[in-house]
Chain A
Amino acid sequence: MSILVDAGTKLVVQGITGREGGFHATRNKAYGTRVVAGVTPGKSGQEVEGIPVFDTVDDAVSETGANTAMVFVPPRFAADAILEGLDSDVQLVVCITEGIPAHDMLRVYAQLKRGDTTLVGPNCPGVISPGAATVGIMPTQVFEAGRVGVVSRSGTLTYQISKELGLLGIGQSTVVGIGGDPVVGSGFIDILERFEADPGTDLVVMVGEIGGTEEEKAADYIASTMSTPVVAYVAGFQAPPGKQMGHAGAIITGSTGTAQAKKEALEARGVGVGSSPTEVAELAKERLGSPS
């Protein structure tokens, strides 16, 4: 079992005729994801590695039955592409694009909340349910099928932690990169809710970083609502205030958003926090070995 993507996923790739879009659409398909369509305005009738291209998401959905969209459109046009996805009949939009202006995402988020489509990203590596389907840019060889969920604001750090889990013999049900921007469609709590409801997930590894208060809010949610155990990692203890640490969302402003505050909030609510990627994998193994 898994969340968000699985063997039933039928993917339409927005921006498929771009270099990155075409490359990753092909890789997702090679992994076993059913990539049924691509969209690039003005290029309907073309094919990318056997995947038919349409002018609009609506056309792609009505012709192919696509239920998931992946956005690979350049930053300036990405908010429009997400809104097009939300306006269609797909259930899930995954936006990989990095560098979307924050004000564009404010408007997208307000619109998102008016409907029932799920958005993952932007500025995220995507979602993989190992062995079943991948939607995004994750290096699939790092992951193994299993029963631990991973949710993270970061890309390479997620791969590192998933690999450390694999070295301890722990596979993953689904790995979700929620993205490193100030405004993302799905926060930690949205994904934790899904893992909590998934009978195929026995434990969740949450990978946070400095900036915002999502980890603190997730700590409250975990303590008040979840029966599935959670262990966590937080990156950025050495980050100085006021400096953006690579991700647009990773910045300590004023007194909020420090790694120490997040670690304390999590530990105060019984969530173990590892001090390195290696240690959080070991914590996961301990928790799995000693069911409470």
Chain B
Amino acid sequence: MDLFEYQGKQLLGARGIPVPEGEAASTPEEARAAAERIGGRVVVKAQVQIGGRGKAGGIKLAESPEEAQARASDILGMDIRGHVVRRLWIEEASAIAREYYASITFDRAAKRPLAMLSAVGGMDIEEVARTQPDALARRHIDPLIGFQAHDARWLAYRAGIDPEGVGGVVAILGKLYDAFVGLDAMLVEINPLVLTEDGRVVALDAKVTIDNNAVGRHPELEELGDIAPEDPQEAMARERGVTYVKLDGDVGILGNGAGLVMSTLDVVANAGGRPANFLDAGGGSKADEVVTALEVLLSDPKVKVLLINIFGGITRCDEVAEGLLTALDRLGADLPIVVRLDGTNEDEGRAILAERAPDNVVVEATMLSAAARAVELAGVAA
């Protein structure tokens, strides 16, 4: 789960990392009021979960509350590479002397946390890693020992942090690691971490990604509000506890098990089709789950054809077939539905569909033939 900058800053601020004073705003009027309370020059920042906001015009300086209101009015509603700006973060402007980069990431290759620090901040860190690898200090941390002060000093000196910034950076790195562990984060990143003209080290941005498996043990995240995905189908799927991902084609895909579903997307693409979305009903799908899954998938207007690809393991194909009939009965869908049932009780499942399914349900014997048929029907419906 990715957090917005303002949410990440609040969480890091609460853990003792210096952040500029700021407030969230959803309207130009709120932005003006926030700027008045903060006083002086402020920065108006679009809250979207995508990089390159500054270049896209989503970050503006304002000298007065009136100007903050005007800039807020410009930025709200702006489309930044597919992300519409619905919220702003208004914060006091900082007098920047130097820009650094700091992060703790979950390094799955090494299976350890990885702390990174650079004196070259404020730009794309993958670019820095590629063009100036020596400018990025990297250090793995033993999760059973934790982050030690010497780890922070090693990083600060290796990265070439300015002498007047070392103390602040070392203190922040320790707190950043505590936040990484304490929040069950997969990533905590500050870019830029700045040294101000008056010698303070302050986090001017915050990117925090929380492990979805751990969200349940962090009630403090719910208090942040506005963490639900914007897409209505994704919100519906999340509410019902199924995995749903939206894509941009016209073939809706329902399968059971993450690997099989990804494989289904691929064979549909190989057959010349374009997946609209996919829903993983889980390895042990029963009839009720099929009903839920279809409700989510069919609520997406882009779906012209639905491909259902089930391998019955613990799941029984006859239960899936019954679930499909129940769902169609309840939802009354009339778009073409191609079904492939394989595995446990496949014959019973196919017999149920042959006898009782409406005419828009087509049964195919293999994954490849089902994909080809779905793509063909999508072409007809287009």
Contacts and interface: CB of A to CB of B under 8 A. Distances in A.
Nearest to A181: B213
- Interface core residue of A109, A125, A235, A246 (most chain B CB under 10 Å): A246
Interface of A: 75-76, 99-103, 106-107, 109-111, 125, 137-139, 141-142, 152-160, 163, 180, 182-183, 207, 209-213, 217, 233, 235-240, 243-250, 254-255, 259, 275-278
Nearest to B218: A101
Given A99-B213, A156-B256, A248-B213, A125 B270 contact: no
B111 A183 contact: yes
Nearest to A278: B368
A56 B347 CA distance: 44
A216 to B, nearest CB: 10
5 contacts: A102-B184, A180-B259, A209-B259, A211-B108, A235-B266
A240 B263 contact: no
A130 to B, nearest CB: 15
A209 B311 CA distance: 18
A111 B145 CA distance: 11
Contact of B217 (A101, A139, A182, A240): A101
A245 B368 contact: no
Interface in B153-204: 181, 184, 186
B358 interface: no
Name, among B111, B258, B311, B314, the residue most crowded by chain A CB atoms within 10 Å (CB to CB).
B258
Given A75-B213, A141-B344, A248-B212, A238 B259 contact: no
A235 B259 contact: yes
A106 B112 contact: yes
Contact of B262 (A101, A212, A236): A236
Interface size class of B (residues with CB under 8 A): 35 or more
Interface of B: 106, 108-109, 111-113, 126, 142-144, 181, 184, 186, 211-214, 217, 243, 245, 247, 255-263, 265-270, 275, 278, 280, 283, 311-314, 342-344, 366-368
A129 B90 CA distance: 61
- Between A76, A103, A233, the greatest number of chain B beta carbons within 10 A of the residue's beta carbon is seen for A103
Contacts, number: 166
6 closest A-B pairs by beta carbon, nearest first, are: A154-B259, A246-B258, A156-B257, A157-B259, A139-B313, A101-B214
A123 to B, nearest CB: 9
B280 A276 contact: no
A160 B262 contact: no
A280 to B, nearest CB: 10
B143 A110 contact: yes
Contacts of B255: 156
Given A103-B214, A240-B247, A255-B126, A180 B111 contact: no
A246 B368 contact: no
B280 A183 contact: no
B230 to A, nearest CB: 14
Nearest to B234: A243
Contact of A102 (B213, B312, B368): B213
Contacts of A139: 312-314, 343-344
A56 to B, nearest CB: 23
A237 B265 CA distance: 8
Nearest to A182: B108
A235 B111 contact: no
A240 B278 CA distance: 12
A238 B265 contact: yes
Given A245-B278, A276-B266, 9 more contacts: A156-B257, A156-B259, A163-B342, A182-B108, A182-B186, A238-B268, A245-B261, A247-B258, A254-B126
